[in-house]
């Protein structure tokens, strides 16, 4: 079943968010049997996550860890990238950082306050810092990263008092295909 997690960290909003998620899950349970009867077996991923997954596949083909990212501005994809630290000999060339750089250049500004970032893996601490500095409005990520993630795992960057900006965070959308890409990539290297 579709797993939906809405992460709102501000006090008081968590209860309201939990109620919204419960109502949405109830609606999905009611709708899914009808959808299955009509031949629909799964929800299509939004275009930005599909594009991020396509970027992750490009990374895997290039021998990079398969992570892809897309920046959306006013409903339009303005930047996309995949991990490229080996290709560029740049340890900061993570998909999120490259996509944020391209989006800032495309818009001609360093603040991306009206943009969304879609990424296939939970951002690390470096990327979470870049997201905060860019003032990304919403972060969507597919797979959680228990080892290197810094949003809901590890450092939990956006929960720190020192964090300059906290985007809205939506996790789990596209987690299955993103996780499979990562598992396949690392299985081939062992």
Give the Cα separation of 114 and 48 in Å (integer).
15
The sign of the CA dihedral 5, 68, 179, 50 is positive
Write down the residue that tokens 């080892």 correspond to. 147
> Could you give the strand order of the β-sheet that contains 5-7, starting from the edge strand earlier in sequence?
5-7, 168-171, 138-143, 115-121, 68-73, 76-82
Q: Which two tokens stand for residue 72?
A: 């959306």
Catalytic residue among 64, 87, 96, 176: 96
> Active-site residue 152, yes or no?
no
Angle of helix 95-107 relative to helix 47-61, nearest 10 degrees, comes to 120
Angle of helix 175-189 relative to helix 47-61, nearest 10 degrees, comes to 0
Write down the residue that tokens 């996509």 correspond to. 99
Catalytic residue set:
96
């Amino acid at each position: 079943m579709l797993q939906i997690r809405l992460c709102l960290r501000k006090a008081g909003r968590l209860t309201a968010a939990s109620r919204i998620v419960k109502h949405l899950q109830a609606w999905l349970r009611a709708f899914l049997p009808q959808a299955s009867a009509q031949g629909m077996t799964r929800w299509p991923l939004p275009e930005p996550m599909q594009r991020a997954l396509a970027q992750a596949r490009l990374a895997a083909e290039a021998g990079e860890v398969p992570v892809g990212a897309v920046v959306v501005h006013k409903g339009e994809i303005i930047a996309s990238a995949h991990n490229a630290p080996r290709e560029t000999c740049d340890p900061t060339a993570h998909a999120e950082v490259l996509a944020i750089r391209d989006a800032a250049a495309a818009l001609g500004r360093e603040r991306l306050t009206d943009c969304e970032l879609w990424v296939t893996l939970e951002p690390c601490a470096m990327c979470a810092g870049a997201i905060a500095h860019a003032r990304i409005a919403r972060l969507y990520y597919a797979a959680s990263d228990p080892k290197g993630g810094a949003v809901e795992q590890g450092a939990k960057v956006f929960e720190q008092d020192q964090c300059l900006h906290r985007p809205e965070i939506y996790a789990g959308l596209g987690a299955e295909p993103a996780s499979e890409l990562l598992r396949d990539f690392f299985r081939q290297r062992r």
